[in-house]
Amino acid sequence: MSSRTGLLLEYLPLAELDPARWSGVMGIATFDAARSEIRAAPVPVAEVNTPVLGEPGALCEVWRTQQAIESGVRGRVHYARTANVVFGCIAVPETPGAAGSHPPLYSATEEAYREILGTLDALGYPYLIRVWNYVPEINRDTHGIERYRQFNSARQAALLAGRRPVIGNVSAACALGAAVGSPLVVYFLASHTAPTCIENPRQMSAYHYPPEYGVRSPVFSRATVHHETDSMTLFISGTASIVGHQTVHAGDTAAQTRETLVNIQALLEEANRVTGTEGFTLEALAYKVYVRHPAELPVIRTELQAALGPLARPVYLHADICRRDLAVEIEATAMISGGTGV
């Protein structure tokens, strides 16, 4: 294990996650399935129903630290915290409401974020750093509106009600599809101190998108940097083939993958500029890749291997993307030594 005391991330096949090694684990996200001993873990476990592609069996995303950890539950939020950061997760099923009420997904989203923000306020970690949202049937139209737009409206309403900003200093995030019948699953990292927010010079900030993308815009920064005393962690939000605010290369998955990597490179350059380092590089990133059509995995994998080299080990998941004309979305994370006062 690294000598750094900040956050550490690793992806492990579920079969290799030894429950005897819970020491130092802040939280886990499982993809595809979770064993009973994982569900009974003394740490938060987010169960995400997005199948793993190109890997044997189910997969775990494991967040570790060398700092002392305290775990707890508040309402439906399971969390674990150190002196500097908290990992938490919540799963909220959709329950049909009374006639004339909000759609079930809207209500589930409001409930999830209300409980998350209430937990963070109670614990004293008010700043969301990174949020992962998994929305069943994200592209389907119900109640006269796409479910992703329902989610965006509810998220923004909950953030405003919780006295959080919805432009500027907002967390990195992603919103992907999940299997039919799954609950809304949200997991997150938050801190005592605000992250440094990074925008992509090639793209319009998502929170400034024009009304054609929904009555209420998505609320996320293109990336954030979390600062600790001896390290920095870069969280790159779900990134896709978008220039300005428009999708480019619709129908060409290979070109979309290349354009996505250009956007990630632009974010790395901006993060290095803002933080005064040169440590954030394509090679330093851990990649999670969302693939809309599993048959296109070889195309995406070929493009990533050409750009990143044979040592890169991206994780591939089958999930719908927030826009119907997007075939691939990539998120990434990097931890480097050296704290800053930025």
Token pair 């907002």 in the structure block, residue: 170
Instruction: Provide the token pair at 233.
Output: 């962690």
CB atoms within 10 A of CB 154: 24
- C-beta separation of 59 from 52 below 8 A: yes
Sheet containing 45-48: give its strands across: 8-13, 59-64, 25-31, 45-48
CA atoms within 13 A on the CB side of 339: 10
Query: What Å distances lie between residue 165 and 155, 170, 219, 221, CA to CA?
Result: 12, 6, 9, 11
Q: What is the per-residue pLDDT for 41? A: 82
In whole angstroms, what is the distance from residue 150 CA to residue 136 CA?
Answer: 12
Domain boundaries, the chain: 8-337
CA atoms within 13 A on the CB side of 132: 28
Residue type, 284: A
Q: What is the per-residue pLDDT for 13? A: 86
Instruction: Provide the token pair at 1.
Output: 């294990």
Q: What is the per-residue pLDDT for 217? A: 95
Taking alpha carbons only, the member of 315, 307, 308 closest to residue 331 is: 315
Query: Which residues are annotated as catalytic?
Result: 329
Q: Provide Rg for the chain, Cα atoms.
A: 19
Contacts of 172 (CB under 8 A, 6+ apart): 129, 130, 131, 195, 220, 221, 222, 223, 224, 235, 236, 237
Residue by residue, DSSP assigns 155-219 as HHHHHHHTT--SSSS--EEEEEEE-TTPPEEEEEEEESSPPEEE--TTB--GGG--GGG-SS---
CATH class held by domain 8-337: alpha beta
Note the pTM of the prediction, 2 decimals: 0.96
Q: What is the per-residue pLDDT for 342? A: 43
In whole angstroms, what is the distance from residue 98 CA to residue 134 CA?
Answer: 25
Render each residue's pLDDT in the chain as its tens digit; 342 residues. 455 668 999 998 887 777 667 889 999 999 987 777 788 888 999 999 999 998 767 789 999 998 999 999 999 999 999 999 999 999 999 998 755 689 999 999 999 999 999 999 999 999 999 999 999 999 999 999 999 999 999 999 999 999 999 999 999 999 999 999 999 999 999 999 999 999 999 999 999 999 999 999 999 999 999 998 888 999 999 999 999 999 999 999 999 999 999 999 999 999 999 999 999 999 999 999 999 999 999 999 999 999 999 889 999 999 999 999 999 999 999 999 875 444
- C-beta separation of 325 from 250 below 8 A: yes
- C-beta separation of 159 from 113 below 8 A: yes
The values of phi and psi at residue 272, to 5°, are -65, -40
Instruction: Provide the token pair at 176.
Output: 């992907």
